[in-house]
Structure formats: C-alpha cells, structure tokens
C-alpha cells in the first residue's frame, strides 16, 4: 500500500483530504509541512495545531534558530509514513492534526513580539485545539505560557534544558531567552512547586523553588527514574512541556546556540518522554534548533522526534480506550 501511495501522492500539505492518517508520499520530495499534515488556518474540528515561531532575536550566543521551524518540518517527513515507535498507538490516526504554519510578525518591532505570540497561541486555544510549537529561541515559551495560563490557570512546567533560564530579570519588557522562566514564576503563570527542570548542567543558585533533576542525576539513576520523579511532581495538574534541544549533549544536537557538554543522549530523551505518558499535557514546544551550526540536520531530526513525542503525550490521555 505505501509503495502504491508513493507513486500517486505528492504535496499532501495541500492535497490531503483528511487530517488523520499516515502519509506515504516520497520523503525526499513535496511540500514540507510538519509530518505532511495539511497546511491550514481553519481550526474547525482540529485537535492539535503545529505552528512555527521563527524568532531568534533574544539569543545570548549564536543566532540561527529562526531557521529551526523550517528544517524541523523538512526532517519530519522521515516520520510521516510510520506510527511512532514504542507507543502502541498512532496519534496521526486518532486525532485531527494540522500544520497551522508560522506566526506572522514584524521582525523589526521587537516590543510588539511578545503580545503577538500570546495572541497567536490564544487563537489556537480558543478554537479548542492544543498547540505544539516549533522554535525559535526559548524566549517564545514565556508569551506562549501566558496564553495557556489564561485558559488553565497557573501551569506546571516540565522543561528539558541545559539551563534553568531563571536568571533574575525584573524588567518584564526585556526579551531574553535566559530569563523568561524567572518572569513566568514571578508573574504567577508557572507554579514552581509542581514544575521540574530536567538535564540542567549550568550554575544558577536561585531556582525559584522549581524542582531540578540535573543531567548527572539522569545519567546516574536513568531516564526512567527521572520520568517517574517528574510525574510525581506534576501530579494531575495541567502540564506544559518545553524541550530546549540543548538539553541533549552537543554530540547529539550540535546545531544550537548555547551548547553545553554532559547532556542527555537522544536515547535517554526518548525513554524520558515516553515514560512521561499519563501526565495531563496541554501543550508543548521544541526550541533552539539552529540549522546553520549543523549541516547534517541531525539536530533538526531530534527536534522533529521531540515534537512527535509531545503529540504522543498529548494524545495518550485522550486516545480511544
């Protein structure tokens, strides 16, 4: 069937008739929507809207993550023909998932950017869908979380990252990818006691009460134990999952702006994400994929897998049976 389909189908980003089902067009051709989903701005009946925010003007080191959403989409074509491994179900078969495209914004009007992001995500949530966002630098998570907190109240955060991103910054108008979770905690949109940061391996003395599972703990106790600990911390509260690709070791994700050695392997990340199954996930993002620093595309492959796992986690508690 897949072979016959590959002969007949192309550009399913525009031509597919259903928002459910695998895609069997040739992985090396066609329009590169995420997982070959339909590009649309109509969210009627949609369960998950995948959207890109190609922004990298908040970085402290190397830019390039504005190109991340495009390359993650390209690499996701490799995942479109098959059910996700290890889950025992396929969210692409059970849920209406679309590619909502990238957010439009004026790249030269930085002060207007945060509210534009919040309004963009709010439009998805108001339509009754969940969002999975492709970044972009990590600052985008702050205005995204504002939209989620409007709907769900204070959010529990699971963050995979090399950095806590809770460095002190009381100027709420500054756009910085290292201080946005400080602001999220201080403004009450993230509940630190029921939030957890995994893979941390940089120094920040004030964690603001957020629970930390650092990279060494993951290496010593295993990703299964880290996932179990994270599930216990968040309980049954609404959870947003933010995955900074630098949570992975640079050997597995060299294409990022602030690489730090000693990080998670891609295998550990896969086990961690799959063992989070059962959390009350309401949305998520994968950020900091910077294609200029990884000509092989390996980092974007990891980013595409992470986004797929977020979709699987979202669907796990909503699937049939």
Query: Is position 246 annotated in a ligand binding site?
Result: yes
pLDDT tier, 9 (very low <50, low <70, confident <90, very high otherwise): confident
Enter the pTM of the model: 0.96
Q: Does residue 118 fall inside a structural domain? A: yes
143 or 24, which is more confident? Answer: 143
Domain count, the chain: 1
Q: Which CATH number does the domain housing residue 55 bear?
A: 3.40.800.10
Q: What is the pLDDT of residue 59?
A: 95
The pLDDT of residue 207 is above 80: yes
Which stretches of the chain are DSSP H helices? 2-8, 12-15, 68-76, 91-94, 113-126, 141-152, 180-186, 215-221, 223-234, 266-274, 298-316
pLDDT tier, 224 (very low <50, low <70, confident <90, very high otherwise): very high
What is the average pLDDT across 266-281? Answer: 98
Domain range for 117: 2-316
What is the average pLDDT across 120-149? Answer: 98
Note the pLDDT tens digit of each residue in 64-105.
Answer: 999 999 999 999 999 999 999 999 999 999 999 999 999 999
Q: Does residue 321 fall inside a structural domain? A: no
Q: Does residue 73 fall inside a structural domain? A: yes
The pLDDT of residue 125 is above 90: yes
What is the average pLDDT across 248-259? Answer: 98
The pLDDT of residue 282 is above 90: yes
The pLDDT of residue 321 is above 80: no
Query: Is position 120 annotated in a ligand binding site?
Result: no
Q: What is the pLDDT of residue 105?
A: 97
Query: Is position 138 annotated in a ligand binding site?
Result: yes
Query: Is position 169 annotated in a ligand binding site?
Result: no
Q: Residue 133 in contact with residue 285, Cβ under 8 Å?
A: yes
What is the C-alpha separation between 103 and 121, in angstroms, rounded?
9
The pLDDT of residue 120 is above 80: yes
Average pLDDT of every residue of the chain: 96
Query: Is position 165 annotated in a ligand binding site?
Result: yes
């Amino acid at each position: 069937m897949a072979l016959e389909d590959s002969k007949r189908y192309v550009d399913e980003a525009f031509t597919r008739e259903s928002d459910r089902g695998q895609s069997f067009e040739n992985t090396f051709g066609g329009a590169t929507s995420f997982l070959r989903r339909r590009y649309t701005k109509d969210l009627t009946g949609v369960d998950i809207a995948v959207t890109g925010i190609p922004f990298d003007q908040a970085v402290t080191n190397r830019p390039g993550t504005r190109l991340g959403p495009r390359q993650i989409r390209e690499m996701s074509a490799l995942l479109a023909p098959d059910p996700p491994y290890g889950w025992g179900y396929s969210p692409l078969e059970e849920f209406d998932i679309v590619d909502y495209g990238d957010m439009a914004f004026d790249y030269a009007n930085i002060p207007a950017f945060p509210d534009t992001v919040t309004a963009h995500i709010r439009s998805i949530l108001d339509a009754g869908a969940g969002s999975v966002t492709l970044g972009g630098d990590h600052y985008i998570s702050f205005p995204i979380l504002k939209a989620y907190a409007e709907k769900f109240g204070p959010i529990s955060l699971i963050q995979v990252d090399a950095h806590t991103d809770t460095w002190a910054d009381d100027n709420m108008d500054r756009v910085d990818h290292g201080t946005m979770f400080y602001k999220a905690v201080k403004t009450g949109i993230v509940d630190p006691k029921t939030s957890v940061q995994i893979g941390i391996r940089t120094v920040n003395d004030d964690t603001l009460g957020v629970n930390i599972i650092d990279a060494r703990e993951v290496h010593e106790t295993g990703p299964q134990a880290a996932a179990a600990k994270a599930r216990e911390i968040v309980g049954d509260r609404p959870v947003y999952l933010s995955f900074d690709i630098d949570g992975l070791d640079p050997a597995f994700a060299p294409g990022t702006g602030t690489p730090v050695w000693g990080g998670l392997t891609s295998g550990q990340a896969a086990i961690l994400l799959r063992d989070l199954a059962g959390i009350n996930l309401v949305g998520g993002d994968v950020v900091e994929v910077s294609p200029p620093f990884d000509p092989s595309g390996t980092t974007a492959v990891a980013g595409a897998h992470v986004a797929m796992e977020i979709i699987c986690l979202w669907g796990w508690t909503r699937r049939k049976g």
